[in-house]
């Protein structure tokens, strides 16, 4: 074996360091970055899919599992699905829905045979896989309709006080005027028709139209999330209207601020002008006998429009402006027809926004670029993903100015060493890594470049 060359007499001692491997340099720089970014970079280097900073999940891949529909009409297949189901605490919502359904049937007029047939038919439809796949997600909507129309039979003795002055006072405090009266002061048949279209026609057809559009063109699983959010939001809205009954603008226009009593008829308000235009009773009788004539707050017309606009904007962002204009159209129509105050609209819109953003964060499938139909999806990711940094923006995190900022703790599993590899005073790198403040750092210490070996004076090492 050959001997290593010794020091040359009379020459200054030098310490020759081999080039720093790219992996070591990579880890050294990562040790100064946040822990979540270190984990993301390590996953990318090992070929793993970067994880988003959210409670998202990826459903099992396979077109047959996420796009195909169930075709079995066997009741026992549905029973077996229930037996194989992994139940969680969230399944208690179905217990609540069952109790709400029984309560609605109990307070409604006695018809035991019809009620029994309705319950048995509903269970049959829900258990059959071919029909249950559509009716189970929309169960909340059907129960809300039963709850809404049955609420008229709640005894008056158990109902709270009707608030007449609260909404007008809030209107004046928040906006300085009664916006509903201002918008309805100038009436015209053309304006009546423009208000009637969203309030009296599109409002009732929009949920079905949105569901069909999302079922065909959005990611698989979007429509069930929309149906559940729509149903629960409507149930909450009716509950608030029952617990906090308030008079709408038409009551102030017809009765002033005199106290209201249960049993008083409702009013079609501006929709009566549409009946006069068309020449037949389309709204007068229905709104006069409305189940909740004093359910002004919150406005479910406004809540439905906002929820539909948010879900459709999520699925079809290129039409976001059109959906926003539709929601504004509905809001204007409700005030022009004297059915709601502006504060009712804001309350309904806030409730809709809460339900949407919660659903998007936990359950709503993400939209994938280049996918036109539901059958184009091979996998589905649910939950809201935080924005991941692409390779072009990664460079902004590796400037010398960013690296020179001291971290309080670098004891992460991805770091090259302990936090002691950074000096406590100046925050500069130790001799084992290149100096990021040097002019040749970018050229010598790229992510995948191998810097040339260089000699370091011993005196230079100890002077650091």
142-151, 167-176, 424-433, 445-454, range with the lowest pLDDT: 424-433
- pLDDT score of 347 more than 90: yes
CA dist 386 and 87 (Å) reads 29
Mean pLDDT, the chain, rounded, equals 77
- Would the CA dihedral through 325, 327, 328, 332 be positive or negative? positive
pLDDT in tens, 173-229: 888 888 888 888 889 999 999 999 999 999 999 999 999 999 999 999 899 999 999
176 dihedral zone (left: phi>0; alpha: psi -120 to 50; beta): left
The token duo for 177 is 């005027």
Of 292, 308, 299, the C-alpha closest to 355 is 308
pLDDT in the model for residue 101: 93
- Kindly report the backbone phi and psi dihedral angles of residue 457, in degrees, each rounded to the nearest multiple of 5, phi listed first: -65, 140
Q: Cα separations (Å) of 301 from 31, 156, 407, 421?
A: 53, 26, 52, 62
**CA–CA–CA angle 293, 296, 297 (5° rounding):** 140
pLDDT, average across residues 66-76: 76
- pLDDT score of 442 more than 50: no
pLDDT in tens, 242-290: 999 999 999 999 998 899 999 899 999 999 999 999 888 889 998 999 9
CA dist 431 and 464 (Å) reads 8
- pLDDT score of 406 more than 60: no
CA dist 110 and 11 (Å) reads 109
Q: In 14-91, which ranges are E strands?
A: 14-17, 57-58
5 confidence band (pLDDT: 50, 70, 90)? low
**CA–CA–CA angle 269, 245, 333 (5° rounding):** 35
Contact (CB, 8 A) for 294 and 260 = yes
CA dist 240 and 297 (Å) reads 7
Share of the chain above pLDDT 90, in %: 44
pLDDT in the model for residue 392: 42
Neighbours of 252 (CB within 10 A): 21
CA dist 6 and 303 (Å) reads 84
Instruction: Look at the pTM and tell me if it is higher than 0.85.
Output: no
pLDDT in the model for residue 247: 94
Q: Work out the end-to-end distance of the chain between its first and last CA atoms, rounded to an integer number of angstroms.
A: 37
CA dist 16 and 3 (Å) reads 17
Q: How far is CA 405 from the centre of its chain?
A: 36
**CA–CA–CA angle 134, 365, 93 (5° rounding):** 55
- pLDDT score of 111 more than 60: yes
């Amino acid at each position: 074996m050959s001997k290593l060359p010794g020091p040359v007499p009379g020459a200054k001692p030098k310490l020759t360091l081999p080039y720093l491997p790219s992996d070591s340099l990579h880890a050294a720089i990562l040790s100064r970055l946040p822990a979540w970014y270190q984990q993301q970079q390590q996953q990318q280097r090992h070929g793993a899919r970067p994880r988003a900073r959210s409670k998202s999940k990826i459903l099992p891949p396979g077109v047959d599992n996420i796009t195909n529909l169930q075709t079995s009409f066997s009741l026992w297949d549905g029973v077996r699905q229930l037996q194989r189901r992994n139940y969680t605490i969230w399944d208690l919502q179905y217990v609540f829905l069952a109790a709400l359904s029984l309560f609605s049937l109990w307070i409604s007029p006695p018809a035991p045979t019809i009620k029994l047939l309705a319950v048995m038919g509903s269970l049959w439809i829900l258990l059959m896989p071919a029909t249950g796949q559509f009716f189970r997600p929309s169960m909340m909507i059907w129960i809300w309709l039963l709850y809404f129309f049955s609420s008229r039979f709640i005894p008056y003795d158990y109902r709270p006080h009707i608030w007449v002055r609260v909404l007008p006072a809030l209107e004046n405090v928040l906006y300085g005027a009664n916006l509903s009266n201002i918008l309805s002061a100038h009436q015209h048949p053309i304006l009546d028709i423009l208000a009637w279209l969203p309030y009296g026609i599109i409002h009732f057809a929009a949920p079905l139209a949105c569901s069909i559009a999302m079922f065909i063109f959005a990611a698989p699983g979007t429509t069930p999330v929309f149906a559940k959010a729509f149903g629960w939001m409507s149930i909450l809205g009716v509950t608030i209207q029952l617990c906090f009954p308030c008079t709408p603008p038409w009551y102030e226009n017809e009765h002033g601020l005199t106290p209201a009593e249960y049993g008083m008829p409702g009013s079609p308000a501006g929709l009566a002008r549409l009946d006069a235009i068309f020449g037949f009773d389309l709204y007068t009788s229905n709104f006069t006998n409305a189940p909740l004539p004093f359910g002004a707050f919150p406005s479910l017309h406004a809540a439905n429009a906002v929820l539909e606009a948010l879900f459709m904007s999520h699925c079809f962002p290129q039409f976001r402006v059109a959906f926003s204009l539709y929601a504004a159209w509905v809001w204007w129509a409700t005030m022009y027809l004297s059915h709601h105050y502006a504060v009712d609209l804001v309350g309904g819109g806030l409730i809709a926004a809460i339900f949407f953003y919660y659903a998007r964060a936990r359950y709503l499938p993400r939209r994938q670029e280049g996918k036109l139909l539901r059958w184009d999806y091979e996998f589905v990711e649910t939950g809201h993903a935080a924005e991941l940094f692409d390779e072009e923006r990664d460079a902004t995190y590796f400037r010398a100015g960013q690296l020179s900022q001291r971290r309080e703790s670098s004891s992460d599993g991805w770091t090259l060493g302990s936090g002691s590899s950074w000096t406590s005073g100046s925050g500069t790198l130790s001799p084992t890594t290149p100096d990021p403040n040097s002019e040749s750092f970018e050229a010598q210490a790229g992510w995948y470049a191998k810097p040339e070996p260089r000699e370091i004076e011993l005196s230079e090492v100890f002077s650091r």
